[in-house]
Amino acid sequence: MAIVTISSELGAGGAEIGAALAKRLGYRYLDREVLAEAANRYGLAEAKLVRGDETKPSLFERVDAEGRLYVVGITAVLLEFAQSDDVVLMGRGGQCLLRDIPHALHVRVTAPFDVRVTRLAQHAGGETGRTLPSRAWLHVVRRDDAGRIGRLRYLYRVDIRDPALYDLVINTTQVASVAAVEALATMARRPEFAPTEAGRKIVRDRRLSSLVEVALAQDPETRRRRISVDTTGGVVTLRGTGDLAPAAKTVRDVPGVSEVKIVEVEPLPPGFM
């Protein structure tokens, strides 16, 4: 069956649908587990991972070596989970990390802004035993939407709202959670989403690329350099400016790497955009 990635707006009900779908399919539902595993494996602060997980990186984080390790660490863990096929991945850019993989079913869960605000206010009111004004949630939802949009645009240069990123877009004002789960379970079992060796190879290559990027982000000699990584069957190609020999030395020690190729590119002229 398919790997399922779910991208959801705050208050649209994506987490509820994802958890129910995972239970229905006998899958593992991955949300904060990705952050916890990345924090444990790479010595990162989980609280900082949680704060920055769905927000646009600040200017400091974009150039900070630790900020880079946060991004590549989460990516490496997510791709490791994806190798098992039987997972529902909630958020974290799964629709981009697993793009062009035939056995990945990408889903967007959405609802109109005012509906989401009202739902959150009602839910919070139910927990506290009193009615909360919807206006108290306006800023929360706007800020969350902007953070998610900004993060995906920065990391992958895409608009998270673009329907072309998804196989199915579900509006939960029209489709109840139970119906959404039923539809997704049916689609996940469709033969066109059945795992193939070609699809699994793509996941393995991206997983190895992510481990290489982690190694480069951890090495004091390479962590501040911009080096692109591409992997095909254990052969890793590094592209960047200047001397890439130190980076190649680091990469050769990554388990699974059989060969390292270097492509040195000319630096862009000053002021070039």
- Which residue(s) pair with 5 in the sheet? 89, 106
Of 178, 193, 208, which closes a domain?
193
Same domain? 116 vs 245 = no
How many residues comprise the chain? 273
Q: Locate the DSSP E strands across 115-222.
A: 168-171
Cα torsion 136, 137, 143, 148 to 10°: value is 170
DSSP-derived secondary structure letter, 268: P
Same domain? 147 vs 248 = no
* Share of residues in the chain with pLDDT > 90 (%): 53
The total number of structural domains in the chain stands at: 2
In which domain, by residue range, is 93 found? 3-193
Same domain? 229 vs 145 = no
Token couple for 221: 């000699």
| DSSP per-residue codes, 20-67 | HHHHHHTPEEESHHHHHHHHHHHT--HHHHHHHTTSPPPHHHHH-HHH
For the segment 121-126, the average pLDDT, to the nearest whole number, is: 75
Q: Which helix (H) or strand (E) holds 188?
A: helix 177-188
Q: How far, in Å, are 82, 107, 113, 179 from residue 94 at the CA level?
A: 9, 10, 23, 23
Q: 86 and 26 in contact (C-beta within 8 Å)? A: yes
Q: How many CB atoms lie within 10 A of CB 142?
A: 13
Same domain? 189 vs 238 = no
pLDDT (tens digit, 9 = 90+) per residue, 17-76?
A: 999 999 999 999 988 777 677 777 766 655 555 555 555 555 434 445 566 777 888 888
For 197, residues 6+ apart whose C-beta sits below 8 A from its C-beta are none
- 18-22, 97-101, 116-120, 127-131: which is most confident: 18-22
Token couple for 182: 């039923």
Same domain? 234 vs 123 = no
Same domain? 54 vs 180 = yes
Which of the pair, 92 or 173, is modelled with greater confidence? 173
pLDDT (tens digit, 9 = 90+) per residue, 72-101?
A: 888 888 888 888 889 999 988 889 989 999
Query: Tell me, what CATH number does 77's domain have?
Result: 3.40.50.300
* Residue from 225, 209, 202, 257 nearest 82 by CA: 202
Same domain? 182 vs 239 = no
Same domain? 145 vs 252 = no
Q: Please tell me the pTM assigned to this model.
A: 0.82
DSSP-derived secondary structure letter, 224: T
Q: Is 93 inside a domain boundary?
A: yes
Q: 17 and 184 in contact (C-beta within 8 Å)? A: yes
Q: Which of 3-12, 31-40, 252-261 has the lowest mean pLDDT?
A: 31-40
CA geometry: angle at 19 spanning 16 and 25, to 5°? 135
